[in-house]
Chains A and B, each alone.
Chain A
């Protein structure tokens, strides 16, 4: 522990440091919490937005006529309905709706308000826009090329912001260095993926607009929205609803709320606008990708002597908070270690891509991605354990960075020791396991940041009511991080009231004092101080009132748990706070007890070169991870992650631990799994399947520890911690991978394929690169103007069939589709806005289609309406057909297996589906019913010949496997989360009594149009071996014709198809062999 500064004890605190019940927990567990999408106002309309399908185009004409006259439509707005004012946090460059030009795929062009969301969406599809497509810049390099098209005419060279500095003698530092390491690293866009999307309900009344927003920053949003709407700030009222996740993405840089207000003004009604998930991916402001060149110089003993960086940041089409992010990514890290000098040159570059913005970490994860890997390389070069190197150079309290960052409390070394201990660094380094590795990284973060002007403060009012309860009135709000709880704890502690007796209001800019909101890890530190001060003032008034009533001096009184009395008196002499306050008010000239507290971060407003102590205090973290790499696939499994954090006094341990765990998990996602396919400047299929976030089953063990620390300027010694535990995780994972298999990944994301390529370069020697293919997704079709034909109905009618012949008859009517579980129809409806067809025929209630039995011969017979979950729940399936059971398990979860029926799984004849693939490895017959009657086909035959018109699957029959058989199914999803597999495989092997092979078959899906089925006749009558299997499955290589996509390049998919065919066949064979041994 650092003992340079004596610190007050926190041992006597009664409320601070305790896991009191969260303020927001009860409404959240009962469904009573009110998020913006939950608001229903009388007469409220619903909005939908038309977005640009082009990364760069001139708008020649917009025809809204057909949309405006669609029944149910109440308002249509375009750029012409706006104040023609650009808005934005630092560099106003964004119109609420495009004027003249669109600059990225997703740019808002027009919007509709209608009686219901379906009508609004249909109306948007009727708006016709004539574009002149312009050349676009879709990468940093394209944007910076000579003569590149300009994204904004006023930004020469596409530079949105640029700065450089040199502090100290950097060249001297490098000249004196014994070891120099350098390299270039790149990071990628990461979406906040809050499970609640951005939204707003807006309503005008008497010329003022009320906006219910799920914003993190109500006051900052109000100011910007007023500019965007072209009205005085006083005419805008922002009310914060419950916020379903923010992480920087709801800090008021997007157009959604402004468009809602425009529609509300034009329609005269309340309007609700909620981003669809697709819109959230297209048009929220994801993490900014950076290209980061860094050079570090060291003395032989490990002391750091110099640092230099050059950085390019991808702004996307509009700026938002990006220039502040570039600032943070450039300077912040220089206060983490004892750098004597630093030089930097940073540029923020416009591109015709989705605008980037604030995301938890605010540039620091990108800086850490580069610099913390550079330190790892330095340790290797210096021949030191990286922990010793970091420890030796770690900042301490009293240090001042080259940019005048003044370090007050700092327990970085303690954090390093704790993180190393949590992960078992020393022991694991001593006793190494093949393909496992350890990685480390550190980070520093602010507690509030002077960015929006020369004030980073907060104000609060604490009122003590005549019922003895106190209420905190603050403009700082809850976004899930625990603000309401933590501020109540601070106030209760200061007031001497029980936690339960302190209430807190929710932000409404008409009511609460001005506040900056939830950003820059500032709320606990800045708002906590303001609340503490306000509570102290209120307590002073209370004690003065009590003193008059007790006829004692205030300092002779004490307040314990809501009771006031003489400090040396008996309990019976104590009065309740309620009675003291009541007596104080109800007297001539009585006054309420109201304390006001203000706190401005003791920091400096940095100059253009970013010199200045941007925050009054800094928090620190050290993070360690252990990974395991599968060298045959490149897939990384993170086994454990540990964080030790210095956030001063911990106010609410459970909430604090939750913040750290959540941040680490987002770091894990950033490192390994959160990425899209791109085409022409946008994600090809912007949804939560193509862009997964970490799910429970992929989670490593998480370890969290807090340093023993006290921040002298913090409330009860506390600092912030919302962001810090994300920052170094990706770098630590990369360092661990390098430790495990010697592969250094420099570009995020770390994909299995990148590692596989590095480990097996020969496998890719003959690779041909294919031209990118236009995406087929319905989302993309809709965006690029491929609207469903005019005849497409919005309405659909459902017939519930009770017999197969009834269903077949109904199917022969025009424009009819079968639904069984109904999932594919629901998906289609969600993604296109239109039903599959005019008539739906529900077959799920036909009794014979729900039959499930295993007969005396051991044949499994299942009707096509049997849900996969029902099959999964049948224990004899696992016993008889392990491949089926494993395929059903691989489908995912109960709720997915419930939604899919056997018919729905087989009918489309998609080889990538799990169940049909398992059935292809076995002996399966399919019964079909059609206008001409019943017919039976084997499943492989059906894959060749397809279904006839108006035909449906009614049942499957699966033969039992012979004795001494084994089967197996495996689905390879490199990102560890449920998604379309890179490859899935099924295998079945039967052995003769002597152990030789009787039959062996493998089915491989997802790598060709039809599934690949191979019978390994060469094995029949012979003994199998792993080597023979490996050689035989090479045949897959010639049959696979995969397409490159987010799940891997074609070349990688072929490698994996061969690999997993071998694995599946070997497992099936071993399972069969176990029966030979057993008998």
Chain B
């Protein structure tokens, strides 16, 4: 099966090795886009989160055949040539990471939330963070990163 979608702004065509191939394998193995991580395979940990048509999705539970025509964003698609995305910058500024394996998932979940809800409630932030496990940080500095990202985005918007 041939699947076409937009990946980080570029059109992509992938001939699936098997019609039930998972999006995470298409990204990581077929397209060598290894920024998206594979953590548990059952949608529990969220490290494989990507954004499909504006919604955060666990790419380990997403059949690639079903994303035909979709617009997909991954961690590799956030930074510009010279500038980081405000969410990325916020995670650096706040040391919102340790081992980093969940970081792409957390950043994609945060981007998905903040794109739709630039001024989220604490509960919305916590629910978004809750969708991605982190074994290292205890989430405090990830929450700070969310808040810093909101402030950075606001600053960028008003500038």
Is A831 among interface residues, defined by CB-CB distance under 8 A? yes
* Chain B, range 1-30, C-beta contacts under 8 Å to A: 1, 17-20, 22, 28-29
State whether A825 touches B39 (Cβ < 8 A): no
CB-CB under 8 A from A819, the residues of chain B are: 63, 66
State whether B139 touches A29 (Cβ < 8 A): no
Among A30, A118, A662, A689, contact of B138 (Cβ-Cβ < 8 Å): A662
CB-CB under 8 A from B130, the residues of chain A are: 695-697, 892-893, 978
Q: Which residue of B lies closest to A242 (CB)?
A: B100
Is B72 among interface residues, defined by CB-CB distance under 8 A? no
State whether B18 touches A794 (Cβ < 8 A): yes
Q: Mark A734-753, 1 if CB is under 8 A from B, else 0.
A: 00000000000000000000
CB-CB under 8 A from B112, the residues of chain A are: 894
Stretch at the interface among A33-41, A101-109, A488-496, A923-931: A33-41
Is A687 among interface residues, defined by CB-CB distance under 8 A? yes
State whether B142 touches A696 (Cβ < 8 A): yes
Q: How far is the CB of B12 from chain A (nearest CB, A)?
A: 16
Q: Mark B127-142, 1 if CB is under 8 A from A, else 0.
A: 1111101111111111
State whether B19 touches A895 (Cβ < 8 A): no
* Consensus secondary structure, chain B interface: loop
Q: Which residue of B lies closest to A19 (CB)?
A: B95
Q: How far is the CB of B49 from chain A (nearest CB, A)?
A: 6
* Chain A, range 24-50, C-beta contacts under 8 Å to B: 24-35, 37-38, 40
Is A665 among interface residues, defined by CB-CB distance under 8 A? yes
With known contacts A798-B1, A898-B55, A662–B97 Cβ distance under 8 A: no
State whether B57 touches A654 (Cβ < 8 A): no
Among B84, B129, B142, contact of A30 (Cβ-Cβ < 8 Å): B84
State whether A895 touches B91 (Cβ < 8 A): no
CB-CB under 8 A from A58, the residues of chain B are: none
With known contacts A29-B88, A31-B76, A662-B138, A829–B22 Cβ distance under 8 A: yes
CB-CB under 8 A from A894, the residues of chain B are: 55-56, 112, 128, 131
Is A580 among interface residues, defined by CB-CB distance under 8 A? no
State whether B91 touches A29 (Cβ < 8 A): yes
Among A480, A697, A702, A795, contact of B140 (Cβ-Cβ < 8 Å): A702
Is A244 among interface residues, defined by CB-CB distance under 8 A? yes
Q: How far is the CB of A729 from chain B (nearest CB, A)?
A: 11
Among A22, A481, A830, contact of B60 (Cβ-Cβ < 8 Å): A830
CB-CB under 8 A from A666, the residues of chain B are: 135
CB-CB under 8 A from A482, the residues of chain B are: 98
Is B152 among interface residues, defined by CB-CB distance under 8 A? no
* Chain A, range 647-703, C-beta contacts under 8 Å to B: 654-655, 657-659, 661-662, 664-666, 687-689, 692-697, 699, 702
Is B102 among interface residues, defined by CB-CB distance under 8 A? yes
Is A835 among interface residues, defined by CB-CB distance under 8 A? yes
- A808 to B101 CA separation, bound complex (whole angstroms): 43
Is A243 among interface residues, defined by CB-CB distance under 8 A? yes
Is A245 among interface residues, defined by CB-CB distance under 8 A? yes
Is A196 among interface residues, defined by CB-CB distance under 8 A? yes
Interface range, B side: 35 or more
- A819 to B19 CA separation, bound complex (whole angstroms): 12
State whether A697 touches B127 (Cβ < 8 A): yes
Among A32, A695, A827, contact of B42 (Cβ-Cβ < 8 Å): A827
Is A786 among interface residues, defined by CB-CB distance under 8 A? no
Among B35, B42, B137, contact of A687 (Cβ-Cβ < 8 Å): B42
CB-CB under 8 A from A830, the residues of chain B are: 22, 41-42, 60
CB-CB under 8 A from A247, the residues of chain B are: 135
- A898 to B18 CA separation, bound complex (whole angstroms): 23
- A33 to B33 CA separation, bound complex (whole angstroms): 12
CB-CB under 8 A from A26, the residues of chain B are: 92
Q: Which residue of B lies closest to A39 (CB)?
A: B34
State whether B66 touches A844 (Cβ < 8 A): yes
* Chain A, range 886-933, C-beta contacts under 8 Å to B: 892-896, 898-899
Interface size on A, residues (CB 8 A): 87
CB-CB under 8 A from A688, the residues of chain B are: 39-40, 42, 44-45, 133
Q: Mark B54-75, 1 if CB is under 8 A from A, else 0.
A: 0111101111011010000011
Residue among B1, B130, B143 with max Cβ neighbours from chain A (10 Å):
B130
CB-CB under 8 A from B99, the residues of chain A are: 194-196, 242-246, 479-480
Residue among B95, B100, B130, B134 with max Cβ neighbours from chain A (10 Å):
B100
CB-CB under 8 A from B58, the residues of chain A are: 895-896, 899
Is B147 among interface residues, defined by CB-CB distance under 8 A? no
CB-CB under 8 A from B98, the residues of chain A are: 245, 480-482, 655, 658-659, 662
State whether A245 touches B19 (Cβ < 8 A): no
CB-CB under 8 A from B75, the residues of chain A are: 29-31
With known contacts A31-B34, A798-B20, A196–B101 Cβ distance under 8 A: yes
Q: Mark A831-844, 1 if CB is under 8 A from B, else 0.
A: 10001000010101
CB-CB under 8 A from B28, the residues of chain A are: 37-38
Among A32, A243, A689, A796, contact of B20 (Cβ-Cβ < 8 Å): A796
CB-CB under 8 A from B155, the residues of chain A are: none
State whether A896 touches B39 (Cβ < 8 A): no
Among B39, B56, B95, B101, contact of A654 (Cβ-Cβ < 8 Å): B95
- A918 to B101 CA separation, bound complex (whole angstroms): 37
CB-CB under 8 A from A118, the residues of chain B are: 18
Is A576 among interface residues, defined by CB-CB distance under 8 A? no
- A872 to B119 CA separation, bound complex (whole angstroms): 19
State whether B57 touches A895 (Cβ < 8 A): yes
State whether B63 touches A825 (Cβ < 8 A): yes
Q: Which residue of A lies closest to B53 (CB)?
A: A898
Q: Which residue of B lies closest to A663 (CB)?
A: B138
State whether A664 touches B138 (Cβ < 8 A): yes
With known contacts A29-B84, A31-B75, A689–B92 Cβ distance under 8 A: no
Among A38, A664, A687, A798, contact of B40 (Cβ-Cβ < 8 Å): A687
State whether B43 touches A822 (Cβ < 8 A): no
Is A797 among interface residues, defined by CB-CB distance under 8 A? yes
Taking Cβ atoms with an 8 Å cutoff, the residues of B that contact A are 1, 17-20, 22, 28-29, 32-47, 49, 52, 55-58, 60-63, 65-66, 68, 74-76, 78-79, 84, 88-89, 91-95, 97-104, 107, 109, 112, 126-131, 133-143
- Can you give 10 contacting A-B residue pairs, CB < 8 Å? A116-B29, A193-B135, A194-B135, A196-B37, A196-B39, A245-B136, A822-B63, A825-B63, A840-B20, A896-B131
Q: A24-B97, A33-B100, A693-B135 are in contact. List 17 more A-B contacts (CB 8 A).
A: A21-B92, A29-B75, A29-B103, A31-B34, A37-B28, A242-B100, A654-B141, A655-B98, A657-B141, A661-B141, A665-B138, A688-B45, A696-B139, A796-B19, A798-B63, A893-B127, A894-B131
Taking Cβ atoms with an 8 Å cutoff, the residues of A that contact B are 19, 21-22, 24-35, 37-38, 40, 116, 118, 192-196, 242-247, 276-277, 479-482, 654-655, 657-659, 661-662, 664-666, 687-689, 692-697, 699, 702, 794-798, 800, 819, 821-823, 825-827, 829-831, 835, 840, 842, 844, 869, 892-896, 898-899, 978
